[in-house]
Amino acid sequence: MNTARMTKYLLEHDRPNCIGCAACVAVNPKHWAMNDDGMSDIINAPHRPDGWQELEIDEEDLEANKEAAQACPVNVIHLKNKGTGEKII
């Protein structure tokens, strides 16, 4: 598969509103980890000035992060198609 044509997605985490239930970590430990402050983090994702985190992911990681977003009881995990801006979750 030509990776240059692979769709890119933006994984976003509204960290200030995270309740630290760890559902995302249980579902997708490849991309999620618990922080010492009791809230989850997207692994290797920078923090924006507003406290959110965001990370560009490839199509191969979309399904696992959809599952993490669907497992979140407070809906603080969002996915967008980077090319179209379409909100997936």
- Residue 87 located in a structural domain: no
Q: Each residue of 9-58: pLDDT tens digit?
A: 999 999 999 999 999 999 999 999 999 999 999 999 999 999 999 999 99
* Overall pTM surpassing 0.75 (yes/no): yes
Q: Read off the pLDDT of residues 47-88 as tens digits, 9 standing for 90 and up.
A: 999 999 999 999 999 999 999 999 999 999 999 999 999 999
| Domain-embedded: residue 89 | no
The CATH number of the domain where 33 resides is what?
A: 3.30.70.20
How many independent structural domains does the chain possess? 1
86 in a structural domain: no
- The alpha-helical segments, DSSP class H, found in 1-89 are 23-27, 62-71
User: Is the residue at 61 inside a domain?
Assistant: yes
Domain region containing 44: 3-81
**Within a domain: 27:** yes
* Chain-centre distance for alpha carbon 61: 10
6-45 in b/e burial notation, b at 16+ Cβ within 10 A? eeebbbbbbbeebeeebbbbebbeebbeeeeeebbbbeeb
